[in-house]
A and B are shown apart, each in its own frame.
Chain A
Amino acid sequence: DSGVTQTPKHLITATGQRVTLRCSPRSGDLSVYWYQQSLDQGLQFLIQYYNGEERAKGNILERFSAQQFPDLHSELNLSSLELGDSALYFCASSPAGGSSTDTQYFGPGTRLTVL
C-alpha cells in the first residue's frame, strides 16, 4: 500500500457525461500527479500540482481539468466524455515536485469505462 488513495475504484458512464476522480496523497506529500494509462497510448502524464498550484502540464486535453485543494487532495474532472477516454487513471504523489529526483508513489487507480 503506497499510502495514496483514489476513489472511485471503478466508474462506468456514458459518452458526453462528466465525471470527477478524487485522489488523496501520502501524508506529507505536497505534489500530486495525474496519469492516464490506455492500451494504445501507454502511460501518459497529464498534469502536476504542487501545494495547490499547477506545476507542470503534459498531454491533458482541454476537456479535462484538475485542481488541488488546501488539504492537498486533488480532483481530476473529465467532461464531454468520449469512448477513447476509457482508461485507467492514476494519481501519484511525491514529497516535493520540483526536481528530477522526485520519486512518485502511485495510487491504485480509477478504471473509467465510457459506453
Chain B
Amino acid sequence: AQKITQTQPGMFVQEKEAVTLDCTYDTSDPSYGLFWYKQPSSGEMIFLIYQGSYDQQNATEGRYSLNFQKARKSANLVISASQLGDSAMYFCAMREGSTGGFKTIFGAGTRLFVKA
C-alpha cells in the first residue's frame, strides 16, 4: 500500500495566484514528521516546510504553508502568490519509525507549472 500519495501528477497555476498541492499519508505510528521538498529542473532537492504529528498549528514558511488535517491524514502544501520560479516538481515525504530506525518515504511528486 502506498504510504504517501500525491494524486496530482501535474498542475497549472496562474502567476500571483495561490495553489494547493495534495498529499495524503498512511501510518499507524503516533509520532511522525511530514515534509515538502521542491525539485527544480536543475535537479537539486530543496527543503520547504516541516510539520510534526503533534504540532497543533499548521506550519508556515514565507509563502509556503502546510494544511495539516490529522484525522484525514492529509498534509497539503499551499503556495501563495505563485511566482514563475515556483515551477518545479514538489515532493511530499513522511518520516516514521522507532528507536530501531527511522525512514523517510517520498511520494511520486506533483509537477507544478506557473503561467505568466
Which residues on the A side are within 8 Å of B35 (C-beta)? 103-104
Whether B32 is near chain A, meaning CB under 8 Å from some CB there, is yes
Whether B14 is near chain A, meaning CB under 8 Å from some CB there, is no
Size of the chain B interface, CB-CB below 8 angstroms: 28
Cross-chain contact A57 with B102 (CB below 8 angstroms): no
With beta carbons under 8 angstroms apart, the residue of A100, A105, A109 that contacts B102 is A100
Binding stretch for chain A, among B17-25, B46-54, B64-72, B75-83: B46-54
A103→B35 CA distance, assembly (Å): 8
A22→B27 CA distance, assembly (Å): 33
Task: Give the contacts of B21-43 with A (CB-CB under 8 A).
Answer: 29, 31-33, 35, 37, 43
Cross-chain contact A55 with B101 (CB below 8 angstroms): yes
Number of A-B residue pairs at CB separation under 8 A: 70
Which residues on the A side are within 8 Å of B37 (C-beta)? 106
Cross-chain contact B95 with A100 (CB below 8 angstroms): yes
1/0 contact string of A26-68 vs chain B (CB within 8 Å): 0000000100000000111100100000011110000000000
Nearest to A108 among chain B residues (CB) is B44
A14→B24 CA distance, assembly (Å): 40
A97→B104 CA distance, assembly (Å): 11
**Contact residues of B with A, CB < 8 Å?**
29, 31-33, 35, 37, 43-47, 50, 52-53, 91, 95-97, 99, 101-109
25 contacts between A and B (CB under 8 A): A43-B106, A45-B103, A45-B104, A48-B102, A56-B97, A57-B101, A58-B103, A88-B43, A90-B45, A92-B45, A97-B102, A100-B29, A100-B31, A100-B32, A100-B53, A101-B33, A101-B50, A102-B33, A102-B102, A104-B35, A104-B104, A106-B47, A108-B43, A108-B44, A111-B43
